Amino acid sequence: MVKWTRSLNTKLVASFVLIIVITSSLSFFYTYEEARSQLNQSAREKLMEVAGAMSTQISGDALLSLKQGDENTSTYTSIIAELRNMRANSADIQNMYTMKLVGDKVYFIVDDSDDDPSAIGQLYAEPELTQIKEAMTSPSASPSFYSDEFGTYMSGYAPIKDANGTTVAILGVDVTAVATLQQIDNVRNSTAMIIVASVVIGTMIILLFSLTLIRDIKKMNAAAEKISTGDMTASIDIKRKDEVGELADSFSRMIASLKIEMMMRDEEGLDQREAEAVAAEKK
């Protein structure tokens, strides 16, 4: 009896399961990364579109007229009302603000934050300078979602123009990643479920195939064992049309030939057995 650790069955199943797991894992990571990248790109494009559309609703001339300490003026109030009104139309938008780029410094003009809004002229401590500079000519967005202590966000930027069509400020729109992260989670979970199911089904198929193969090999082994101990009643009952079936046929012919040779040495016994077979057939 072969130890199960050395059994062909164990080796076959382990090898195939390993192959399935490796292939599935690679598929999973590729699919997940591809989906994440696509959803990220889709979120960027949508954000740039939204920021571009919203920036046209803000008057660049009105923004330019605001100076430090103008937070209580009607111009400031109407701009902030406009920003909040636009924000209210989209559940994903967390914050909207306008900025002015001076050299490599970015200063807030109007910030619609509900809690502790930035004051007019306040320096933006860590701006996405590349994207903000890009937004001087056309809408731009963060390359991917970023996380801070308030959550995971992506920011979109678009130019705000004055009456002459000159870019005088930038609109910033922060959106939460909740919806996109949820979609990424869904893709990950669905892919993982499909892969787990594939591994389970694949393993079952391999196990079944392996068991039938081993069963037939065991039959041949049992017949060979019988012949080796001089038991000529051994026969092989294997009905397969593959290579194992061919091997079984060859094995069967070999056994039959051995039996013939051995029986011929005992012709009287053979006569007796044939007579019994004829009698049995007549019954």
Partner 1 sequence: MSTCSDEAVSITQKFLGPSSKTFLERQTRSHMNGLDLNNLERAHLPELAKWVQISAGLLIEKPKAAELAALLVKI
Q: Which residues bind partner 1 (CB under 8 A)?
A: 235-237, 252-261, 264, 267, 270-271, 273-274, 277-278, 281
Angstrom distances, CA of residue 107 to CA of 10, 99, 171, 219:
68, 5, 12, 85
Measured from the CB atom, the residue of 148 and 237 that comes closer to partner 1 is 237
For the bound state, the minimum distance from the C-beta of residue 229 to partner 1, rounded and expressed in Å, comes to 18
Measured from the CB atom, the residue of 3 and 239 that comes closer to partner 1 is 239
For the bound state, the minimum distance from the C-beta of residue 283 to partner 1, rounded and expressed in Å, comes to 13
For the bound state, the minimum distance from the C-beta of residue 225 to partner 1, rounded and expressed in Å, comes to 18
Measured from the CB atom, the residue of 72 and 228 that comes closer to partner 1 is 228
Measured from the CB atom, the residue of 225 and 271 that comes closer to partner 1 is 271
Task: State how far Cα 148 lies from the chain centre.
Answer: 26
3 state SS for 61-98 = HHHHHCCCCCCCCHHHHHHHHHHHHHHHCCCCEEEEEE
Determine the Cα–Cα distance for residues 39 and 197; give it in Å rounded to an integer: 25
Measured from the CB atom, the residue of 114 and 237 that comes closer to partner 1 is 237
Q: Which two tokens stand for residue 24?
A: 């599935």
Q: How much of the chain is in helix, strand and coil states, percent to nearest 5?
A: 60, 15, 25
Q: Which two tokens stand for residue 90?
A: 């989209």
For the bound state, the minimum distance from the C-beta of residue 211 to partner 1, rounded and expressed in Å, comes to 22
Residue 10, C-beta contacts closer than 8 angstroms, at least 6 positions apart: 4
Q: Using alpha carbons, select from 117, 130, 183, 177 the residue that is nearest to residue 157.
A: 130
Measured from the CB atom, the residue of 35 and 244 that comes closer to partner 1 is 244
**Ramachandran bin of 161, using left for φ above 0, alpha for ψ from -120 to 50, beta for the remaining angles:** beta
For the bound state, the minimum distance from the C-beta of residue 219 to partner 1, rounded and expressed in Å, comes to 12
For the bound state, the minimum distance from the C-beta of residue 263 to partner 1, rounded and expressed in Å, comes to 8
